[in-house]
A and B are shown apart, each in its own frame.
Chain A
Amino acid sequence: MSEQATANRERRPSRRHFLQAGAAVAGGAALGAAPAALADAATVDNSNLPPNVPEWMKAPGAPMGDQPYGTPSVYEKGVVKNISKTLPQYISASGRTPLQELDGIITPNGLFYERHHGGVPTIDPAQHRLMLHGLVDRPLIFTMDDIRRFPSQSRIHFIECSGNPVYSKPYGKTASDLVGLVSCAEWTGVMLKDVLNEAGLQKEAKWLVAEGADAAAMTRSIPVEKCLDDAMLVYSQNGERLRPQQGYPLRLLLPGFEGNMNIKWLRRLKAVAEPDYTREETSKYTDLMPDGTAREFTFTMEAKSIILRPSGGQKLSGSGFHEISGIAWSGRGKIKRVEVSLDDGKSWQVARLQEPVLTRALTRFRLPWQWDGTPAVIQSRAIDETDYVQPTLAELLAVRGVNHFYHNNAIWPWRITANGEVSNALA
């Protein structure tokens, strides 16, 4: 605790400089400190620092039961979802994970990104049912207790919104602005193939239409091959029941497929011979090409990575040692390698991957860096187990154009100035 306070005190000169500079990077933070903690640094006095005994050691702390469900430290109150204040409406909208404030590969449940199309329903699990019908031998209805009787599995997978980010400007300032619509959790539930087997899929069944019990009755058609492979029906996330924003009490999990197909509040699966071509897979979530054609059923999220430390809006405290850290992921499987460039893409070096490296999960990478204090452009690129290499934005735009909208997995470089300020190099 006192080390943290000392660190804060040492940062104070740069904080003052930051304020005097007119908050050019509003919302920014010195590297390694959350905005809330930083704000408090200005009020820290020496009475809690060596050789003095800090005040929080001189009286008992909060009693047991003070927080029946624990919440983060008051000094972390600035670490919240990144939700735009200027959306045209908030019923069909998205909120981003503050990726640059997090460590490791697991997203805390309260910070998992959100995208819903008709608001977040409040569902009584005792009154929730899953109906399985269509081209099956035995149409069935399951209660949540029924679902939980199937053999369970826990697996770590990311979910990513298909539009993360879009191709056209303005591009975001922070890592969260850019790619905050990805999160990763340990999911617990049952294999969908076990549940389908219970109903007996007929051989004509090539797709499953999945429907949510929300006000959008969100509907997508899923190829049966995915349903019989690694698809799951999940009821828990990071050890506790799903949050309402993530589909409580039941969600379809399609590892590596675009987020909106992972139908939340799942209430119905209909086996069919052809996709329904629902509004969400025709009018939305199709990719317009420069020639006016549009790609449909673009399910898989391709390999991507982003440096989170340092990243846009942060400020390096000075030259010397800094650890570069970020995340990489691929909808096609495991991350094989992450390469980092510190010289605007001229040369690349291999970053160290933190174990475990899991299929269709976030993978943390790190690279030690001695910054000489001169301006730099840093970036990362992911290579997955299919040897697919994450492309540049220019390479994507040359093929897909700015109106493609979804599935932008571009390399995103950060520019670092001589005074340590980090910003989006493509903005």
Chain B
Amino acid sequence: MRWRRSHVALLAAVIGGLGVAAQAEERFHIGRAATPAEIKGWDIDIGHDGSNLPPGSGSVERGRVVFSEQCAACHGADGQGGVGDRLAGGQGTLASAKPVRTVGSYWPYAPTLFDYIRRAMPQNAPQSLSDEDVYAVSAYILHLNGLVPPDAVLDANRLAAIKMPNRESFVPDPRPDVR
């Protein structure tokens, strides 16, 4: 079907004497196939459900070390913030006059931590941490927020299973809400 349509379009173009492009549903045959290895190297997206999380694991204990070396300069020794965002605390403040938005008080999905740390942190050397260390830093930040115990070790399944406290507080866009 697709083959026949493209021939009709080509015929029409030839008859019209025009070098026109194909119809909207036709292809231009531009670009080349992406190989699975190329996709694997570039696709660093982690779904909110933890899909595409890599193998490996990391502990709160290891995360404490990595955090002090890679993160504390901007985010504070205990994630209290500095040049970088505050990462811990603030639970129960969102409806107050001074809401404190942190990983623990605001973020709806734990796998997003892995996704963001791996792709963008530390700011001076993104995508430099090993997957194990990204798991470990994620575990440490969740521990700072009281969401995993001090002896926790996180892997793909355990990270995806964490229920973030603020998950149910996001609502769809109702605008126009002010007229």
Contacts and interface: CB of A to CB of B under 8 A. Distances in A.
Contacts of A198: 27-31
A388 interface: yes
A131 B34 contact: yes
Nearest to B103: A283
Q: Could you say which of B21, B31, B83, B178 has the most chain A C-beta atoms within 10 Å of its C-beta? A: B31
A75 interface: no
B69 interface: no
B30 A270 contact: no
Nearest to A283: B107
Contacts of A296: 170-173
Contacts of B76: none
A217 B127 contact: yes
A150 B171 contact: no
Contacts, number: 161
B45 interface: yes
Contacts of A403: 97, 99
Contacts of B46: 276
B164 to A, nearest CB: 10
Contacts of A158: none
B31 A141 contact: yes
Nearest to A280: B116
Given A293-B171, A302-B175, A270 B34 contact: no
Interface string A123-153: 0000000011100001111100010011100
Contacts of B127: 217
B146 interface: no
A397 to B, nearest CB: 9
Given A118-B126, A296-B173, A279 B112 contact: yes
Interface string A268-302: 10101011111100110010111111111111101
Given A276-B45, A292-B95, A396-B178, A282 B107 contact: yes
20 contacts: A118-B123, A132-B34, A149-B28, A150-B30, A194-B24, A198-B30, A219-B115, A268-B42, A268-B43, A275-B48, A276-B115, A277-B48, A278-B115, A278-B116, A279-B112, A283-B106, A297-B173, A398-B178, A399-B178, A407-B175
A292 B98 CA distance: 11
B101 interface: yes
A407 to B, nearest CB: 8
Q: Could you say which of B33, B99, B109, B120 has the most chain A C-beta atoms within 10 Å of its C-beta? A: B120
A167 to B, nearest CB: 12
Contacts of A274: 47-48
B47 A276 contact: yes
Given A131-B39, A217-B127, A288-B99, A294 B170 contact: yes
A288 B25 CA distance: 42
B130 interface: no
A400 interface: yes
Given A215-B123, A294-B171, 4 more contacts: A92-B123, A139-B33, A146-B31, A282-B107
Contacts of B103: 283
A88 B83 contact: yes
B176 interface: yes
Contacts of A150: 28, 30
Query: Sorted from nearest, which 6 A-B pairs have the closest CB atoms?
Result: A292-B95, A292-B94, A277-B48, A279-B116, A217-B119, A139-B34
B126 A216 contact: yes
Interface in B62-109: 83, 85, 94-95, 97, 99, 101, 103, 106-109
A15 B156 CA distance: 67
A40 interface: no
A272 B39 contact: no
A160 interface: no
B32 interface: yes
A130 to B, nearest CB: 8
Contact of A286 (B32, B116, B170): B170
B171 A299 contact: no
A288 B101 contact: yes
A163 to B, nearest CB: 14
Interface in A294-342: 294-300, 302
Interface string A356-399: 00000000000000000000000000000000110100011011
B174 interface: yes
Contacts of B116: 278-279, 283
